[in-house]
Amino acid sequence: MKKFDIFYILYLLVIAIIAISVFLFSDKIFTYKKSSGMLSPLPNFLTGFINNQVSTLNLWFPSPTLIKKSGVREPDLSATSAVLYDLVSNKVLYSKNPDLKLPMASLTKIMTAIIAIENKKPDDRYLVTTDDLVGEDSMGLSAGEVLSLEDLLYGLILHSGNDAAETLASNYSYGRKGFIQAMNEKAKSLGLSDTNFTNPTGLEGDGKQYTTANDLLVITNYALKKPLFQEVVSQFDYHIPYSSEHKEYYLENETNLLTSYPGVLGVKTGYTPEAGLCLVTYLNYSGHKIIGILLDSDNRRQEMKDLLDYGLRVQGINPPSHG
């Protein structure tokens, strides 16, 4: 057979495969652009025509490769779900039910912070209303006060302030409902399909709010790329001096291990009776950047320490001395 004939047959074969794929999967992998009639090779949730939270296509899919090392004993965790991931080596260090959908409590506020940071008000003035004062956990806001985005983020993260979360949501350009929609659209824009938000706080009772450890890994990694988020979650305390628009605030970080485990730089605790004790932790130690996630734990502090120790040892690194 001539060389030309071989190439021609291969060409026809490729065309046939493409045609069959388009016929079978076009409803899933293509979406129409209404204005031009052109086709976009993206799912609906990854196009700016459908999802307002899509800006640049910046998907990150963690490697499924799991590191194991003989002689290193895995921690015995009570947590229903857990993940430990090294962002430097791009390896899973530990995994337990990583795709199980569970309530997330105040870990919700990681996404709340993302939406607030990406949609900062031009005048940076956030008015507190009576409707924003919900839940037991709060930074102590009063109706009528006006604070900046940065101050509210410290209240949101350090004190897990439900009042801060609601204030950020109610000041969104499309209101609280639009803010929650933006949270869900952002999750979809990150390629996530196992996360759903019904409020900006993580409180139960107003809808089915859930996520997975794997989805939280992607959300946290995305949030840590934002300098303001990284700065806020890494601080142990924060002082907001009195002004004519608000009272004085002194905030202390509730994130376990921030001051007791060398290299830990935040991120967030969470608890509701439905979700149990939850914790997301970011460790930067000995050239490794590690995200740890615990959902529904009986002892999140000790289990996160055990998890971090294990993640370092399995990579041949001696864990730091810690309390």
Catalytic residues: 106, 109, 160
Q: Furthest-apart CA pair in the chain: how many Å?
A: 88
Pairing of strands 146-147, 237-240: unpaired
- Its sign, for the CA torsion 163, 165, 171, 177, is negative
In the chain, DSSP assigns E strands to 31-32, 39-40, 81-86, 91-96, 126-127, 146-147, 237-240, 249-252, 264-272, 276-285, 288-297
- Report the distance separating Cα 257 and Cα 78, nearest Å: 18
For residue 180, the Cα-to-chain-centroid distance in whole angstroms is 14
Nearest-CA neighbor of 158 among 319, 74, 268, 15? 268
Q: Do the Cβ atoms of 292 and 299 come closer than 8 Å?
A: no
SS3 content of the chain, % helix, strand, coil (to 5): 35, 20, 45
DSSP label at residue 321:
P
CA-to-CA distance for 186 and 174, rounded, in angstroms? Answer: 15
